């Protein structure tokens, strides 16, 4: 059985949980999230604690046990604190701006690239940093990845859009390789 799945989920004050058959709804200060439970997974609630139970011992259920617990814990954190991903633009002349629900990126192409914010996700831009905020961890990560894919960091000068904590592995380049061959 999953060790992560056995951990209880503490429900903070102000969070309301509704169990309706195979669906769980979590409401908090920032909003509301829904999740359809897998068929062989059950949830027990008592005294502001949630327990995720596996109803079967087969491999598929074991795999879903810890995953379901992690998804529900992320939903609880999302409706209370929210999720944030920060990206950094590295490159001369790279700019970003927010207009209505759109993030407009000028990153060296002949045209600006527009990315629309889905419901529940907001963008903030400060100098060369882009911040993606929302209550759904999966959606925030998906939108941040979509922004990064517009211009991923290249390995020679490191120019592009990267995550704030990402380390870009750099390559030597032609001149350094030629100089190393002469020695």
Q: What is the pLDDT of residue 164?
A: 95
Q: What is the pLDDT of residue 181?
A: 64
Using CA atoms, how far apart are residues 158 and 168, in angstroms rounded to an integer?
Answer: 7
Q: For each of the domains in the chain, give its residue range(s) and CATH number, in order of start.
A: 3-80 (3.90.930.12), 83-163 (3.90.930.12)
* Count of other CB atoms within 10 angstroms of residue 108: 13
Using CA atoms, how far apart are residues 6 and 16, in angstroms rounded to an integer?
Answer: 22
Distance of alpha carbon 66 from its chain centroid, rounded?
Answer: 18
DSSP code at position 28: -
The average pLDDT across 17-31 equals 93
| pLDDT for residue 153 is more than 90 | yes
37-90 pLDDT, tens digit each: 999 999 999 888 999 999 988 888 888 999 999 999 999 999 999 999 999 999
Using CA atoms, how far apart are residues 121 and 78, in angstroms rounded to an integer?
Answer: 12
Q: What is the pLDDT of residue 182?
A: 59
103-132 pLDDT, tens digit each: 999 999 999 999 999 999 999 999 999 999
| pLDDT for residue 178 is more than 80 | no
Q: What is the pLDDT of residue 29?
A: 94
Using CA atoms, how far apart are residues 57 and 48, in angstroms rounded to an integer?
Answer: 27
| pLDDT for residue 16 is more than 90 | yes
Q: pLDDT tier at 137 (50, 70, 90 boundaries)?
A: very high
Cβ(93)–Cβ(110) under 8 Å? no
Q: pLDDT tier at 180 (50, 70, 90 boundaries)?
A: low
């Amino acid at each position: 059985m999953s060790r992560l799945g056995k951990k209880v989920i503490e429900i903070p004050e102000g969070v309301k949980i509704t169990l309706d058959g195979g669906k769980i709804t979590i409401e908090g200060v920032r909003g509301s999230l829904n999740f359809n439970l897998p068929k062989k997974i059950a949830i027990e609630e008592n005294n502001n604690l949630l327990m995720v139970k596996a109803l079967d011992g087969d491999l598929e259920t074991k795999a879903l046990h810890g995953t379901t617990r992690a998804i529900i814990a992320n939903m609880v954190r999302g409706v209370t604190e929210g999720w944030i991903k920060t990206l950094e633009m590295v490159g001369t002349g790279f700019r970003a701006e927010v207009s209505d629900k759109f993030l407009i990126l000028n990153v060296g192409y002949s045209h600006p690239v527009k990315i629309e914010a889905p419901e529940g996700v907001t963008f903030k831009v400060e100098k060369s940093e882009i911040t993606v905020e929302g209550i759904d961890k999966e959606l925030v990560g998906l939108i941040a990845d979509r922004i990064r894919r517009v211009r991923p960091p290249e390995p020679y000068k490191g120019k592009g859009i990267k995550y704030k904590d990402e380390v870009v592995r750099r390559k030597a380049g032609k001149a350094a390789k030629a100089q190393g061959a002469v020695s």
